[in-house]
Amino acid sequence: MVESFRKIDYSIRPAKYAERLMLCDVFRRLSAFEPVESYKYVGFGSVWFSDFVLFHRALGIRDMLSIEQSEAARERINANKPFSIDLKFGKSTALLPDLDYSKRQFIWLDYDDPLGPEMLEDAAAVAARARSGSVLVISVQCVRAPEIAIADREMKIDPNTQTAEQRFITKFGSRRVPDTLSREDLSGWTYGELSRNMLLAEIDEAISTRKLADPSQAVFAKEICSFEYEDGAKMTSLVVIFYNEEERQKLESCAFEQMDFIPAGEQDKPVYIPTPKLTLREIRNLEGQLPLPPGSVLNIGHIPASEAKSFAGMYRYFPNFAVVQN
């Protein structure tokens, strides 16, 4: 399998860029637990380390760890590592259980692939150990489940072979899959919703087991928000915070529901990150009017209304870069 960093420049994907800035807003609000710069950040840096650079510069986080699976790219990853980031090479399923969870952490498991059993294991590993005030972000691709292509190919040979749904259940186990699963649930945004729900269920089970094993270490999990976006491929992210009963008031003080990118009254819906197609002149025209005073209306000129609305709703998070030509 070709490493994803050889196919995609993660530093310039506009929706991904916006997601990083939104996560910065999420992380800033955790100062109710302790100063944000005291947290540790754990992620998958690859050769770009874009999230590491942003979180260090914007949040002041100094303690950072990148988990790297590609042993073949060790030298290139080391050569591109900014700052004094710690590196651990190996699979996340092997490394996550052995992290030091005595410190509050931001953990972003930013996968390139569709949901798999090992990703559920990673979510459970963090939920079973995370300290109150820690945040877990999990991103997965949701174009369509691989079982669809396998089933369609095999059915050309044997019409009685397993369906995509049956293969999906076999892969994950019936305990993890809803009884109402249909083929339509295995592609697009419904597949993204299914993936998030399965991750949440795995997290809930892990913290229930944790409470039974040691009630003094019990935590709760709360979904802060979720994202949907597509920079070529449909992606979805789940953002969860862990907290204990003693720090419930700190959680409420974070007021995540007041973040700019979450529309009022829609906290339970995924945040869709659009990628408006606008020229630099159109962007300057719109930015010159934002933020809009109450009761005002954007003067959009010849800009398509849908593009202007998308930009105005999330202009703070969109990247501001372009190719410069001589």
pLDDT in tens, 144-193: 999 999 999 999 999 999 999 999 999 999 999 999 999 999 999 999 99
Rounded to 5 degrees, φ, ψ at 263 are -60, 145
Structure token pair of residue 248: 């419930």
Helix (H, G, I), strand (E, B) or coil at 70: coil
The closest of 132, 130, 107 to 32, measured between CA atoms, is: 132
Q: How far apart are CA 19 and CA 301, in angstroms?
A: 28
User: Which tens digit of pLDDT belongs to each residue from 91-135?
Assistant: 999 999 999 999 999 999 999 999 999 999 999 999 999 999 999
State residue 266's pLDDT score: 82
The closest of 54, 57, 59, 52 to 86, measured between CA atoms, is: 52
Interior CA angle at 85 toward 84 and 89, to 5°? 135
Q: How far apart are CA 188 and CA 110, in angstroms?
A: 18
Are the C-beta atoms of residues 226 and 237 closer than 8 Å to each other? Answer: yes
The residues of the chain that CATH labels 3.40.50.150 are 4-144+187-272
Cis amide bond preceding 304, omega within 30: no
Q: Give the residue-averaged pLDDT of 77-91.
A: 95
User: Residue 8's Cα: distance from chain center in Å?
Assistant: 17
Q: What pTM was computed for the model?
A: 0.93
Please, which pLDDT band fits residue 239 given cuts at 50, 70 and 90? very high
State residue 13's pLDDT score: 81
Q: How far apart are CA 260 and CA 256, in angstroms?
A: 9
User: Residue 275's Cα: distance from chain center in Å?
Assistant: 17
Q: Amino acid identity, residue 184?
A: E
Write the class of the CATH domain 4-144+187-272: alpha beta
Higher pLDDT, 10 or 159: 159
State residue 287's pLDDT score: 95
